[in-house]
Amino acid sequence: MPNRTIRGQIRYTSRKPERLGEERGREYFTITQQPDGTDILQAHCEIDDAPNISRDVMQALRHSDSAPLDCSVRITVGDKFEGTGWFRFHETFAECETYNQRDGRLNQRIELEAPVQWMQCHPIAGDSLLMRLYDLSRGPGKQHFPHMMLSSPDHRGATGPMLFRIGFSLVYVGDTNITVEAGTFRARHFQVTDTAEGLPEEHPPYNVWCTADDDYLLLRAEAEGYMQTRYELTELHYLE
């Protein structure tokens, strides 16, 4: 069987009254679904707000539940190199080799009591793939996931990269129809909650709408609180 490839673009905008609708960044992503059950997410992310951020991510995930296999991250902050790193995940440990401006060369190995359920490297396209963890057979409600990791605890993903442990909950609100610039879709609506468990500062309430199919593609996302940001799918192409 050949690979199945999906490409898209996401626009970042502000929801703050003084900047309502103003573009503040963009993301270009490719998801390649391989015959062996592995998804490869490649994403180039740009945030214009000072200090501006440029991030390149390549992440391998298990298609069935988005469990991480390996990934690499490179970050530029304020037009200057910030850090780069490579991560690998095993059932009993997670490891990385990284270099960043604050800490220099780092070698991390973290022994695990359970496999890592998700590795968040901060591309918005990945925020919808995360929702595969939710057991839809249990219907709408809240489910907690204690075995997660981040490449940066910063809400913009502007530090590191390095391994950071966290746990949080997902709320499945239900299905709805949603129209974005890329078209009209049947969508699943989720929320990310309980982020205070591991982050230095709790992430504001976060709503995510993804395609109501096995692809779990990001359609729209909105962060509340001090962030007041929106992310919307503007282009989508299936290359099969």
Residue boundaries of the structural domains of the chain: 4-239
Domain 4-239 belongs in CATH node 1.10.10: no
Band of residue 205 on the pLDDT scale cut at 50, 70, 90:
confident
Give the pLDDT band (50/70/90) at residue 152.
very high
Q: How far apart are the first and last CA of the chain?
A: 11
Q: Is 174 a residue whose pLDDT tops 80?
A: yes
Kindly write down the DSSP assignment for every residue of 28-72, as one continuous string.
EEEEEE-TTSEEEEEEEEEE-SSSPEEEEEEEEEETTT--EEEEE
pLDDT band at 222 (very low <50, low <70, confident <90, very high): very high
pLDDT over 90 (residue 63): yes
Residue 146 buriedness (CB in 10 A; 0-12 / 13-18 / 19+): middle
Do residues 228 and 15 lie in contact, with contact meaning Cβ atoms separated by under 8 Å?
yes
- Would you state the structure tokens that stand for residue 48, as one six-digit string? 């214009």
DSSP state letter for 103: T
pTM of the model: 0.95
Residue 153 has pLDDT above 80, yes or no: yes
The alpha carbon of 23 is separated from its chain's Cα centroid by a whole number of angstroms, namely 20
Q: Which of 3-7, 193-197, 217-221 has the lowest mean pLDDT?
A: 193-197
Please give the share of the chain, as a percent, with pLDDT higher than 70. 97
